Amino acid sequence: MILYSHVKQQYDFQPNRQTGEGIVSGVDWNNRDMKVSVTPGEKVILDLIRAHGEATRGDLVASLDLSRSKINGCVDALLKKNIICTSRSNEYTGGRRSKILALNGGFGLVAGIEVGATSIDVQLADLYGRTYARCCEPANVHDGPRLILGRICDILEQLVLDHQLEGERIFGIGIGVPGPVDFARGTVVSPPIMPGWDDYPIVQAVNEHFPFANVVVDNDVNVMALGEMTKGAGRGVDNLIFIKIGTGIGAGIIVNGQIYRGSSGCAGDVGHICVDKNGPMCHCGNIGCLEAMSAGPAIAERGTRAALDGRSPILARYYQITDGCLRAEEVGAAAREGDPVAIEIIRDSGRMIGDMLATLVNFFNPDMIVIGGGVSNIGDLLLASIRQTVLNRSLPLSTRNLAVLFSAIGEDTGVTGAMTLAIDQAFSIERNSDSVRFEYEAKHAIWS
């Protein structure tokens, strides 16, 4: 267990949860509206440039249902605000060279933070997504929000100092946490594995140290889905399910290119779908949840039982090597050695997850399912079991073009998504700037 005693005094405060006293007086406990304002037209153009990396004015005219004069006005405004910048095209096709529009990396800094059950990962980058620094270290989420958030701020301040940057330039901080999140308020709600975090003012605690940043909090699987959609296998995919298999099991759902959070922000909590009414007790209090049957601890427990009762000499050897702390990874290693018991444990887990996913596929009909999280490191046996079950249990039409694959960016998914979240939420539409309702549709992805 990691205890951050050197920062405990500095960050050890107890806010009044009813009044907000002790954090920032007069500020609501939510994802604060400290955002860079843009008009609706500017937001449309900004989102497209972000999605494709760069574009010319001609590309924008060809791809949007907006007039050339409107596009030129919005582009000029974004240039004036320094949110985007220009460079000359390297390709010459005759006539005047086109100017390439891209995000201005120097506009400001963003931070992506992934809080895991046993680690924290902090990354600092510019608006263009180029990484300045990253720090990942062990941590225990049970240590509580004051110590964990204190350590995160400590790391982020040190990264800023080490690279001779200014903390005031951090205009967005995205944080993914392993629990249900009320997205509008930016708080965790009754998290099963995060004691002490319930309704804790995460946004305000971070803003104590970075008051100029727009801090936004979301569930870790939603954040990972964003990362996969931005930089991974899900680029260009409109409808996607990201499944994280680790200590728990959860889903991030992308609908028409946007995260679907549901009415209360808890969409995707698939780990507590019942798969066996006679199964074991889950930590949520219910019986036979998918998480209790198929997540990392369940795989490790079945492997441990097989090692202790003599059914698997290979698992018994790994049990001794790990001093009795067998993990899902060791079960995967035993399976790769050809151990039949370990193979069956992993196949069983994959089948149960696949059964759940088949129901989602029949209901939602996604383009892609991406498997991530620590347990995905078990390898192709787990993926094959999941994929085969989904194909067998889903309707043929819903699987005709369905891809089921592992995450393309692996352990980078969380921090990548957290930075994407920070940028997504840092730009807000000016309420009174434009009375026109912009309805647009990309007609040609000519620069993708």
Q: What is the CATH classification number for the domain harbouring 194?
A: 3.30.420.40
Q: Is residue 446 part of a domain?
A: no
For residue 21, being part of any structural domain is answered with no
Q: How many domains does the chain have?
A: 2
- The per-residue pLDDT for range 34-57, each reduced to its tens digit, is 578 888 889 899 988 988 888 999
Q: Are residues 125 and 153 in the same domain?
A: yes
User: What pLDDT, on the 0 to 100 scale, is given for residue 439?
Assistant: 37
Same domain, 421 and 304: no
The answer to whether residues 117 and 193 touch, using CB atoms and an 8 Å cutoff, is yes
Q: What pLDDT score was predicted for residue 234?
A: 94
Assess if residue 29 is contained within a domain: no
371 and 340: one domain? yes
Q: Say if 54 falls within a structural domain.
A: no
Are 155 and 284 part of one and the same domain? no
Same domain, 114 and 146: yes
For residue 207, give the amino acid letter. N
Judge if 176 and 294 occupy the same domain. no
Same domain, 259 and 382: yes
Quick one: which of 269, 303, 289 has its CA closest to 375? 303
Give the per-residue pLDDT at 9.
31
Q: Is residue 404 in some structural domain?
A: yes
* pTM, two decimal places: 0.84
The pLDDT mean for the chain works out to 86
128 and 266 fall within a common domain: no
Whole-number Cα distances in Å, 389 to 131, 133, 276, 355, 394: 39, 41, 17, 6, 8
Provide the pLDDT for residue 127: 85
For residue 441, being part of any structural domain is answered with no
pLDDT (mean) for 206-222 = 95
Q: Which domain holds residue 130?
A: 107-226+413-426
Q: Is residue 58 part of a domain?
A: no
What residues form DSSP beta bridges with 124?
111, 133
Q: Is the pLDDT of residue 235 over 50?
A: yes
What pLDDT shows up at residue 284? 84
- Domain presence at residue 444: no
In this structure, what are the phi and psi dihedrals at residue 218, rounded to the nearest 5 degrees? -150, 165
Whether 326 and 216 share a structural domain: no
Would you tell me how many other CB atoms lie within 10 Å of the CB of residue 446?
Answer: 13
Whether the pLDDT of residue 19 is over 50: the answer is no
Based on the domain organization, do 208 and 307 belong to the same domain?
A: no
SS3 249: strand
387 and 258 in a common domain: yes
149 near 205, Cβ under 8 Å?
A: yes
Residues 250 and 344 in one domain: yes
